[in-house]
Structure 1
Amino acid sequence: MSDTMLAVIGGSGLYEIEGLEGAVWQEVSTPWGAPSDAILTGVLDGLPMAFLPRHGRGHVHSPTDVPYRANIDALKQLGATHVLSVSACGSFREEMKPGDFVICDQFIDRTVDRKKSFFSSGCVAHVSMAHPACRALGRAAADAARTAGVTVHDGGCYLAMEGPQFSSLAESRMYREHWGADVIGMTNMPEAKLAREAELHYATVAMVTDYDSWHPDHGEVDVTEIVRVLTGNSARAREMIAGMPSRLDHRCDQACDRALEYAIITAPDRRDPVLVAKLATVAGRVLGG
């Protein structure tokens, strides 16, 4: 546990965590620009932790404009090994009710206007996204959430849409009936892809706030109702986070921290030194930084 740091990325409604010893907000600069906000660091029950409000305190960043690359780079700079993403979502499944938490293990990326990789021409890499979420971290979060009294669904497919508008009825029906998605949100892509490139253990806890627009008995998404459910979800999310230190360890059978082992395909003598320098934090292990 001595080398473990849990970073929590808080979504809508979750802008801080409580009980951190030595808590301090730190400004972090990255080659990819500034992260969403300063990052709160401290120790919770012996576990080093970091907290980053994804949209910034006061919710100033839209889903499209969240600086995803800077966020992941900054967390890794601070020593994060595990990233727990907590975010609001809509549900496509009757049994995944508002107030429930879903531990997502698959993603469909429908975003179209975001930088999705740290790598590009000059240093090309292809990481596997077949199993994008860390099972061990997800299990720990599920156990902590259940202890907090939350109904938890183990496994689920998260569809990431661009936003900021909610789905049309036709889109909602398509995602639910033909694409096999279970929940829908606007922020976990490209976050999950970037965490994989940075060799971080990553898991998503999707907090259900509504039934999107497919449900015949609930109608279209109502922001007022979402905010009401968010308030309750956020309180239970804080309880879940408080239970993470006793459950977190490095027992991962997916080699999340070795995702770049064979991913970089650009020959060493053809790599762009400027880009390689920018990659020092996220890929220094394999690039020699």
Structure 2
Amino acid sequence: MHNALSILVGIIGGTGLDNPDIVQDRKEKTVVTPYGKPSDVLITGTIGGVDCVLLARHGRGHTIRPTDVNYRANVAALKEEGCTHLVVTTACGSLQEDIHPGQIVILDQFIDRTTKREQSFYDNAATSPKGICHIPMHTPFCEKTRQVLIESVKHLGYKYHPTGTMVTIEGPRFSSRAESKLFKSWGGDVINMTTVPEVVLAAEMGLCYGAVALPTDYDSWRDEGNEHVSVEVVMTTFKQNAEKGKKILQDAIPRLAKYDWKPVLEERVVTAKESVMV
């Protein structure tokens, strides 16, 4: 059934997908939010006939450190633009032997190890919404959006994992071997530097958030040989992963438009609203 509600899909492109040439009828738009400037211009257009807004998480020149990404401005800008969904890609390391570099992980949980980031729009500033938001994070990612992403990955024939727990560290350094082993022992599946607070802020805004994780390496936990994460190791898998990420977006976004999102979006907006204590 085609949705009665028109959707607008925000895409936050991670490393290697900073400026994919996938949007038709592209227009650039510079915006400023109450939380400052987003990482780059918004690129509006369509993918498969569906309206989209693309934003490079680290800037198109990859100049912004994970800690310094203005996550609040990024999410606020996409919400103000009218986005109903956020579909994002993220490069990451694997914490499990069976998650191989080059495979796809559709995230369903996270463990937050960040230390320096604003995780709420409700910060008592004069330009911010009033109150304190205790947003539930039992199910951080939109389940319906996750299922559509899984449909796409299956259709494209990629090897994938239908669930995954992302450990988000502060960065920009990679983990020590001891840290990496600890995160693995906690049940972390993959590790990056950007999922938190992006997924939390999307929930506060009532957006349907889904993430495609693209492992490039085995992080630092493996003992054998000299195999550990480095920029050189990461870069060799990037190009291949970026191509997969691009194809998943091209397939998934037209799929999103086939479903009725009204009840899902209404529920997310109500949850966000009811989480605020004024």
Does residue 214 (structure 1) correspond to residue 226 (structure 2)? The answer is no
- The separation in 2 between residues aligned to 1:211 and 1:45, in whole angstroms, is 34
- The separation in 1 between residues aligned to 2:10 and 2:150, in whole angstroms, is 16
- Residue identity opposite 2:208 in structure 1: H
What percentage of residue pairs aligned between the two structures are identical?
37
1:212 match: secondary structure: coil
1:106 matched to which residue of 2? 109
- The separation in 2 between residues aligned to 1:48 and 1:153, in whole angstroms, is 28
Structure 2: gaps spanning 5 or more residues: 125-129
Does residue 263 (structure 1) correspond to residue 275 (structure 2)? The answer is yes
**1:47-126 superposed matches below 5 A:** 47-121=50-124, 123-126=131-134
- The separation in 2 between residues aligned to 1:197 and 1:164, in whole angstroms, is 26
Deviations 1:80-111 (A, max 9, x none): 10001200011111111000111111111110
Structure 1: gaps spanning 5 or more residues: 267-289
Q: 2:156 aligned to 143, 148, 158, which one?
A: 148
Deviation at 1:120, TM superposition (A): 2.5
Pairwise CA RMSD: 1.6
- The separation in 1 between residues aligned to 2:136 and 2:123, in whole angstroms, is 16
Deviation at 1:253, TM superposition (A): 5.4
2:192 matched to which residue of 1? 185
Asked if structure 2 preserves the Cα contact closer than 8 Å seen for 1:84 and 1:204, the reply is yes
- Residue identity opposite 1:137 in structure 2: T
- Residue identity opposite 2:215 in structure 1: V
1:28 match: secondary structure: coil
Deviations 1:147-171 (A, max 9, x none): 2332110111101000000000100
Aligned length: 265
Asked if structure 2 preserves the Cα contact closer than 8 Å seen for 1:145 and 1:236, the reply is no
Deviations 1:6-55 (A, max 9, x none): 11111111012334332111111100000000011101222101111100
Deviates more, 1:93-102 or 1:134-143: 134-143
- The separation in 1 between residues aligned to 2:219 and 2:87, in whole angstroms, is 24
Asked if structure 2 preserves the Cα contact closer than 8 Å seen for 1:201 and 1:257, the reply is no
Asked if structure 2 preserves the Cα contact closer than 8 Å seen for 1:42 and 1:48, the reply is yes
- The separation in 2 between residues aligned to 1:129 and 1:232, in whole angstroms, is 32
Asked if structure 1 preserves the Cα contact closer than 8 Å seen for 2:10 and 2:78, the reply is yes
- The separation in 1 between residues aligned to 2:271 and 2:195, in whole angstroms, is 18
Deviation at 1:260, TM superposition (A): 1.6
* Structure-1-length-normalised TM-score: 0.88
Asked if structure 2 preserves the Cα contact closer than 8 Å seen for 1:148 and 1:236, the reply is no
Does residue 17 (structure 1) correspond to residue 20 (structure 2)? The answer is yes
1:215 match: secondary structure: coil
Deviations 1:133-159 (A, max 9, x none): 011111111221232332110111101
1:5 matched to which residue of 2? 8
- Residue identity opposite 1:63 in structure 2: P
**1:238-253 superposed matches below 5 A:** 238-248=246-256, 249-251=259-261
Q: 1:37 aligned to 31, 36, 40, which one?
A: 40
